[in-house]
């Protein structure tokens, strides 16, 4: 076999490996960006509370997608409100009181504290789990995949326990 044929095969195999690595790397990055993007919509209100209205909500009624109740302010400059809306989840029950942060310019509330932070980052936990499969199967990086998977499981478990 001529030397040029062997080097040509090696070059094409290297290009295929690089192409697979680039494609799977792009997929992993897009999955993680989507997880952060989905989480940040809520997490920014919970984590960056300086200057935002903080208080408690006494949940009086719940519908299929939201619960609402009376808002009692805890921060300076915040006004009491007769009704604010809190997204309904398995952790929100009628008759309980939750610490919340109000979204600017609206009557929408987001849970605050450790439970609110962890709940806000749940989409990132799912993205870490999904990306770990791509890292293990597409990039053949099993240690990195295990680290990502265990991080996702830890985040989801912590959110489940605190919420």
Helix (H, G, I), strand (E, B) or coil at 34: helix
Distance between CA atoms of residues 123 and 129, nearest Å: 10
- Residue 112's Cβ-count burial label (10 Å; 0-12, 13-18, 19+) is buried
Per-residue pLDDT, 87:
84
Distance between CA atoms of residues 89 and 42, nearest Å: 14
Tens digits of residue pLDDT in 85-99: 998 776 788 899 999
pLDDT along the chain (163 residues), means of 10: 72 90 96 97 91 93 90 92 85 88 90 90 97 95 97 96 86
The answer to whether the CB of 73 falls within 8 A of the CB of 54 is: yes
Angle in degrees, CA 113, 116, 122, rounded to 5: 145
Per-residue pLDDT, 90:
67
Residue from 89, 65, 58 nearest 159 by CA: 89
Residue 41 CA neighbour count, 13 Å, CB half: 9
Distance between CA atoms of residues 103 and 81, nearest Å: 14
Per-residue pLDDT, 4:
73
Per-residue pLDDT, 137:
93
Q: What is the CA radius of gyration of the chain?
A: 23
Distance between CA atoms of residues 95 and 7, nearest Å: 73
pTM for the model stands at 0.84
């Amino acid at each position: 076999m001529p030397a040029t044929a062997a080097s040509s095969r090696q070059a094409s195999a290297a290009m295929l490996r690089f192409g697979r690595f680039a494609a799977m790397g792009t997929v992993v990055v897009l999955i993680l960006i989507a997880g952060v993007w989905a989480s940040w919509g809520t997490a920014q209100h919970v984590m960056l509370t300086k200057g935002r209205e903080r208080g408690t909500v006494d949940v009086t009624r719940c519908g299929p997608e939201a619960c609402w109740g009376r808002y009692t302010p805890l921060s300076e400059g915040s006004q009491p409100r007769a009704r604010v809306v809190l997204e309904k989840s398995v952790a929100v029950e009628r008759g309980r009181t939750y610490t919340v942060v109000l979204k600017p310019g609206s009557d929408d509330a987001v849970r605050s504290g450790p439970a609110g932070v962890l709940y806000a980052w749940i989409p990132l936990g799912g993205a870490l789990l999904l990306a770990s499969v791509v890292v293990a199967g597409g990039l053949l990086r099993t240690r990195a995949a295990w680290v990502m998977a265990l991080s996702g499981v830890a985040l989801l478990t912590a959110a489940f326990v605190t919420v």
